[in-house]
């Protein structure tokens, strides 16, 4: 299900056991799956991923900061106004009826204010070194 949002598209995947809907935007400049979790107190979007509600979620110990070169659609970047702090983890991710157990992912634990206007809670990288959903499709032999 693709829904036009400004000049970008979002998609609803599910993460966890039992599945929780997670809306993500496809980003050709990124390579990983990251989405807001209940650990992010500054994330104002609704539908954040609730870690304790998933019996298959495993939190990682590594955190990192991701800087984005553009905002949603054609928003200009000014200094570091599009920055996420993320934590590594794994969980079951499903999209289009295909499930990927133990998929590496990042949960957003902090973000700059410009992300709060987004109608989605995460980003699925589609770059040339993409991991996450697209790497899972390739690993399962799906083009």
Residue-wise pLDDT tens digits, 100-125: 899 999 999 999 888 888 888 888 88
Of the candidates 93, 81, 99, which has an alpha carbon nearest to the alpha carbon of residue 142?
Answer: 99
Q: What angle do CA 93, 23, 79 make, to 5 degrees?
A: 110
- At 1 the pLDDT is 38
pTM equals: 0.82
Residue-wise pLDDT tens digits, 45-69: 999 999 999 999 999 999 999 887 7
């Amino acid at each position: 299900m693709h829904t036009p949002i400004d000049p970008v598209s979002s998609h609803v995947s599910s993460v966890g056991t039992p599945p929780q809907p997670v809306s993500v935007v496809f980003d050709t400049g990124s390579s990983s799956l990251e989405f807001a979790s209940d650990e992010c107190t500054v994330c104002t979007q609704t539908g954040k991923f609730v870690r304790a509600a998933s019996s298959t979620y495993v939190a990682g110990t590594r955190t990192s900061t991701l800087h984005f070169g553009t905002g949603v659609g054609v928003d200009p970047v000014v200094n570091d106004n599009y920055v996420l702090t993320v934590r590594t983890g794994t969980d079951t991710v499903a999209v289009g009826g295909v499930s990927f157990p133990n998929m590496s992912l990042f949960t957003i634990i902090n973000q700059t204010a410009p992300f709060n206007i987004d109608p989605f809670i995460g980003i699925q990288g589609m770059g040339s070194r993409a991991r996450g959903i697209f790497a899972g499709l390739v690993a399962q032999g799906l083009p």
